[in-house]
Structure 1
Amino acid sequence: MKDRELIIVESPTKAKTLKKLLPKNYLVEASFGHIKDLPEKRLGVKIEEGFLPEYELIKGKERILRNLKNTAKLCSRVILATDPDREGEAIAWHIAEELGNKVQLQRALIYEFTPQGIKEALTNLTPLRENLYRAQQARRVLDRLVGYKVSPLLWKALQGGLSAGRVQSAALRLVYERETEIKNFVPREYWTIKALLEKDGFQFWVKLIEKKGKKLTLLKEEEAKKILKELEGKSFYVLSFTKKEKTKKPPPPFITSTLQQEASKVLGFSVKETMSIAQKLYEGLPLGPLGQRGLITYMRTDSVRISPFFQKATRDFILKFYGKEFLPSKPHTFKSPKEAQEAHEAIRPTSLDLTPERIRPYLKRKEFELYGLIWKRFLASQMAEMRLEVGKLRVKCGDFTFQGLMEMEKFPGFMVVWKGKKEEDKMPSFKEGEELLALKIEAERHFTQPPPPYTEASLVKELEKRGIGRPSTYATIITTLLERGYVKLQNKVFYLTELGEKVAQLLLKHFPTIMDLSFTNKMEEELDRIANGFVSFQEVLAGFYGPFSSDLQRAYKELKDDGSSLHRP
């Protein structure tokens, strides 16, 4: 048995996929997620001893750990192949601690569950990555300190069962501020004028922009009515018409945040649902005669990098199935965010030959829809640009100038995959001075609009823009806000509840630090610095705990002065 090697992953699905793709000398076992965590009913952080976390074996994991230890004794080597991110590193680290020094341990980073992806990971084994683990540990301790120290204040001031997480509180602030902005918004009425014109059966709208060369914006009702009278019975003549070609670049392949946004907008999936389905596509699904295999690369990534090997395979695929005109002269390059981990790739299919239609019989409806979205987006990202013809028409009617913009597709490029082929239109030509037929002229009433309430897609976009949390945590942030009753989701739009408003106001008043969006962003940057080895776990936590502790003491005093009966936890 000692010629055998043990591979440990966190999920039984991964284990099943690996067993089908590896030779028999590999044993594969699952840890079923984390095996250790901070205690449930106490702080579990030794603040005076450098913020040392007191991890405990999670209840119910004794049998699983015993099985891992017994199997490890039978093997010459143990390979920890949990997810290649911070959480996966923490799981690997805790398993390694429990297995001890008597076994040879190495780390495998599997970015795709395919024969090629597994071979690459097993050929390039690494030691455990301590800095990455310390970054996860720092996040866990930060969140425990905030939750454990602040939540009791909410229980006393408002009601029991409430929580104030470090990142969820900043996200709550975004929703609170947006709702406040909407409530305080005073709409302003304004009017616009447009004309429907025709040339050789081609109908198009033009919009009033000038009178005697002076721009007209935000017209009042009386002004609009007066202009309509002046336009009555007058003819429309072409002032100028210019045409130019415009190109539209394909979008980059998906990263975690853009996949969450697009799946929300296009498929109506929640962020949580998207990540759950993507996890299944990554870990592997049975595909009938094609066997069990992973369909996409690792879905927690902020990098748009594509491996040179797969980029070449993609170009060959485009040339074969779409033709030379759809292949750009050189591969597109996209820029990843500055903090992106470039070891990761973008989210892509593991094989373009596994087209959505080919594997449709083996997938559930939502799996098929999400896979189709990822497959199309990736292929489109490597295709030729779309070419458009843009026409700008200026029309004169008396003292007034109207303008219209027209856009016609000349070559679909990547859009043939990403959005489907459009019916061909032809843009008419216009000669200076020629008269155009006016079908109708209308004055339209408008009101200035408040910013829209957040949807899941727009909240994810804002969280990413502000650097609050990381894409891998967005699903948890949103789920927590909903489960705590701080926000509700109606018709795919977030609304603040009365409770959420009270919690936000209380935290803003007494805990400005944890509600400070720039502070939350800075903490994310500090966690990245721990992961990259630039700063220690203890330094970051000490820098956080000083101001936080002052806020905490002040909050107790202020709430006590307000008449609340508060006792320190």
Structure 2
Amino acid sequence: MAMNLVIVESPTKSKTIEKFLGKNYKVKASMGHLRDLPKSTFGVDVEKDFEPKYINIRGKGELIKELKTMAKKADKVYLATDPDREGEAISWHLAHILGLEEDKSCRIEFHEITSSAVKDAIKHPRAIDMDMVDAQQARRILDRIVGYQLSPLLWRKIRKGLSAGRVQSVAVKLVADRDKEIEAFVPQEYWTLNAKLREHAKAPIFEAETVKYKGKKLELTSAEQAHAAEAALANAAYIVSKAERKERKRHPMPPFTTSNLQQEANKKLNFSAKKTMMVAQQLYEGVSLGKASVGLITYMRTDSVRLADVAVDEIRNYIKDSLGQEFCSPKPNHYSAKKNAQDAHEAIRPTSVLRTPSEVAGHLTSDQLKLYTLIWKRAVASQMSDAVYDVTTLLIDAGDYQLRASGSILRFAGFLELNGGKSADEEKDKTVPYIEPGSKLVLHKLLPAEQHFTEPPAHFTEATLIKELEEKGIGRPSTYAPTIVTIISRGYVVKEGKKLLVTELGLLTIDMLTEYFKDLINIPFSAELEGQLDEIAEHNISKEQVLHNFYGPFAKDLARANEEIPAVDLPVEVTDIPCEKCGRMMVVKEGRFGKFLACPGFPDCRNAKPILKKIGVACPVCGGELIERKTKTGKTFYGCEKYPECEYTTWDLPLQEKCAKCGHMLVEHTERSGRKRKYCSNTECVDARPVRPAAVKEQEPPKTAAKKTARGGRKKAAK
């Protein structure tokens, strides 16, 4: 009996695939890379065209021996690593270890782990694509050059243990530049003035905004100007000068790419990029659906928005059968890929649209179901009809002023039907009646002028940083999640809630790199370098040429920086809190989880503890101070400083105000919409927050929240 060996990357995937192929196949996992550059040395011979020195990864010896034994016994070896550059390189390394000829047909690839896709791939093996391998090697060597030659400079000049990376340095610069922009922002005062109008006493009321004065854009920058406009509008005659009624269509979004998925999962599910990729990997590799195990989504590392024709047909048939012919677009929707997108494989989609979220819910974890639902809905919506709105716009003259009223009504839900005819990111429909030009209007009420101030740009979140990296051509979908993990773990950036904030260490490092390594953190240069890696994969340029072009200027910059940069002592913030173990005054340090207190006597004294943020409100149970704490996932809650003696906790912000009805403490609850509402903390009071069954779990904060220190230890106290 013939015996064939199929090598994949992960054990989960191997179990799923082995069930598809039957008794004549053995499927074994390589557990990722088996060979890599050495950790202890540079491992790249710059003088010999950047020749890399690969070694077997420590700890993989037994696995390599087992794979060699299995390969010798096998009639045919298939290398089925992931269908991207990294996977191609792993196959190349496997071919070297197992003595396979790389130009022979030993490489198979599939973009979904289903029986038909795997069996079809077995029928069409190919040779290893050395252009893809060269592109991966070029990226690996570039990152090794930056990491191993620039990092020691940072150790000597700033702090031991720092690291520099080609993509991570640009990411930190983006965060630092945004934070500087916010800090330098000077708010400008402006006022708005709205009026409620109607055609006659019994006609519907609608709201209009004052937009022009004497034909020019209205700019009210002071209270005096606003009150003058108020006085004029109070006595003005309102006449419709222009009325327009038209149809507006809203198109469905394309199916997910990796970066889009990370952004949406961050915004809608509050998943970090790392968590999104981890859960997506589980859905791709295979989930047990009772008797069978199957991959639920296609490969999750892609920047393509293309769907296979067979998938488009299945989705369109599902829409017609389940929702109705009118909800399916008249012809298949095709979407344009972004510039420099790698279109080798499809967008992320369900492997079968017939496996609806409700049908697989019982087999998935909560996180898996949330992400699968997001992917399933996006793929289905991409082939649905446009949503159609009726939009009415009125321009209204009032003396020297002009007002504008605009409203829209959803006439046909189209793809929004998947969400019950509603869009999560749009405001509710606002009705404005169509009124013929020349009609006089009645002023129902002139709303008081409202003062506003211009807002600075928002801090980056994981979602918006990924979007910025993608738009500027920095990195690739597979690098976004590890890049964010790295810049946080190295202490260059901290995460507060969803916001990413640059640290003092990050600012110091970026300022130094900006002065001495302009190309390294120059965004156009970095984007151009990514383009050159694509050119290697397409056989348009050699990896040696790209490496030479980069290394020459970099080496000169490195030599100058070594000579000119003075060593910098990071200022230390000393507190008045004594160390319980040795008596020294503790200092504020910054780690991957934010700021914490540490003993300056490290390493002799390793005492460290969280910084307690008091909120100025007494505990309603014992009278102690309430402090802000954090869960392991970074969610804020509030608890008593006397924990564990007092276990009072709440998700809602405690206030100093007392309830007018029972005298208990009030709390401020933030709803999903962002609206803040005050409730009584006494659950027996009529003004207490009503508890929905689905929200019971949410209202029970953890009794403790363990905090990791920067050195990897754990403290029993919560943040």
CA distance in structure 1 between the aligned counterparts of 2:429 and 2:174, rounded to whole angstroms: 44
Deviations 1:368-392 (A, max 9, x none): 0000000000100001111111110
Match of 2:274 among 267, 272, 275: 272
Secondary structure class of the residue paired with 1:107: coil
CA distance in structure 2 between the aligned counterparts of 1:71 and 1:81, rounded to whole angstroms: 15
The letter for the 2-side match of 1:29 is: K
User: Structure 1: which 5+ runs fail to align?
Assistant: none
The letter for the 1-side match of 2:345 is: H
User: C-alpha displacement at 1:425, in angstroms?
Assistant: 7.9
Q: 1:173 to 1:207 in 2, by over 3 A?
A: same
Residue 132 (structure 2) aligns with: 132
Secondary structure class of the residue paired with 1:106: coil
Deviations 1:288-309 (A, max 9, x none): 14x1000000011111111111
Residue 714 (structure 2) aligns with: none
Residues 190, 452 of structure 2: 8 Å contact kept: yes
The letter for the 2-side match of 1:372 is: T
2:365 maps to 1:359? no
User: C-alpha displacement at 1:121, in angstroms?
Assistant: 1.6
Match of 2:518 among 507, 512, 515: 512
The letter for the 1-side match of 2:531 is: E
How high is the TM-score relative to the length of structure 1? 0.95
Secondary structure class of the residue paired with 1:481: helix
User: C-alpha displacement at 1:198, in angstroms?
Assistant: 4.7
Residue 259 (structure 2) aligns with: 257
The letter for the 2-side match of 1:373 is: L
The letter for the 1-side match of 2:246 is: K
Residue 436 (structure 2) aligns with: 431
Deviations 1:146-195 (A, max 9, x none): 11111111111111000111111111111111111111111111112112
Q: 1:123 to 1:493 in 2, by over 3 A?
A: same
For residues 95-244 of structure 1, what are the structure 2 equivalents within 5 Å? 95-101=94-100, 106-198=106-198, 202-234=204-236, 236-244=238-246
User: C-alpha displacement at 1:237, in angstroms?
Assistant: 3.8
User: C-alpha displacement at 1:396, in angstroms?
Assistant: 3.0
2:489 maps to 1:483? yes
Residues 408, 429 of structure 2: 8 Å contact kept: no
Residues 77, 105 of structure 1: 8 Å contact kept: no
The letter for the 1-side match of 2:311 is: F
CA distance in structure 1 between the aligned counterparts of 2:267 and 2:419, rounded to whole angstroms: 15
The letter for the 1-side match of 2:409 is: M
For residues 454-469 of structure 1, what are the structure 2 equivalents within 5 Å? 454-469=460-475
Q: 1:22 to 1:201 in 2, by over 3 A?
A: farther
Q: 1:80 to 1:189 in 2, by over 3 A?
A: same
The letter for the 1-side match of 2:527 is: N
Residue 617 (structure 2) aligns with: none
Secondary structure class of the residue paired with 1:515: coil
User: C-alpha displacement at 1:219, in angstroms?
Assistant: 3.4
CA distance in structure 2 between the aligned counterparts of 1:343 and 1:459, rounded to whole angstroms: 25
Residue 26 (structure 2) aligns with: 27
Q: 1:421 to 1:210 in 2, by over 3 A?
A: closer
Work out the number of aligned pairs and report it: 561
Q: 1:426 to 1:167 in 2, by over 3 A?
A: closer
Residues 198, 439 of structure 1: 8 Å contact kept: no
**Worse overlay, 515-524 or 227-236:** 227-236
CA distance in structure 1 between the aligned counterparts of 2:555 and 2:410, rounded to whole angstroms: 60
Identity percentage over the alignment? 45
Structure scoring higher RCO (CA < 8 A, sep ≥ 6) equals 1
User: Structure 2: which 5+ runs fail to align?
Assistant: 570-719
Residues 408, 431 of structure 2: 8 Å contact kept: no
CA distance in structure 2 between the aligned counterparts of 1:47 and 1:221, rounded to whole angstroms: 67
In proportion to residue count, which structure has more helix? Answer: 1
Residues 34, 57 of structure 2: 8 Å contact kept: yes
Residue 546 (structure 1) aligns with: 552
**Worse overlay, 414-423 or 162-171:** 414-423
Q: 1:198 to 1:370 in 2, by over 3 A?
A: farther
Residue 6 (structure 2) aligns with: 7
CA distance in structure 2 between the aligned counterparts of 1:276 and 1:208, rounded to whole angstroms: 50
Secondary structure class of the residue paired with 2:449: strand
User: C-alpha displacement at 1:512, in angstroms?
Assistant: 1.2
**Worse overlay, 440-449 or 262-271:** 440-449
Q: 1:218 to 1:553 in 2, by over 3 A?
A: farther
Secondary structure class of the residue paired with 2:456: coil
Residues 206, 432 of structure 2: 8 Å contact kept: no
Aligned-residue Cα RMSD (Å) equals 1.9
User: C-alpha displacement at 1:419, in angstroms?
Assistant: 6.7
Match of 1:248 among 247, 250, 253: 250
Secondary structure class of the residue paired with 1:488: strand
CA distance in structure 1 between the aligned counterparts of 2:478 and 2:507, rounded to whole angstroms: 26
Residue 379 (structure 2) aligns with: 378
How high is the TM-score relative to the length of structure 2? 0.76
**Worse overlay, 235-244 or 24-33:** 235-244
Residue 83 (structure 1) aligns with: 82
Secondary structure class of the residue paired with 1:430: coil
Residues 197, 441 of structure 2: 8 Å contact kept: no
Q: 1:325 to 1:535 in 2, by over 3 A?
A: same
Residue 675 (structure 2) aligns with: none
CA distance in structure 2 between the aligned counterparts of 1:563 and 1:136, rounded to whole angstroms: 35
User: C-alpha displacement at 1:231, in angstroms?
Assistant: 2.2
CA distance in structure 2 between the aligned counterparts of 1:102 and 1:368, rounded to whole angstroms: 42
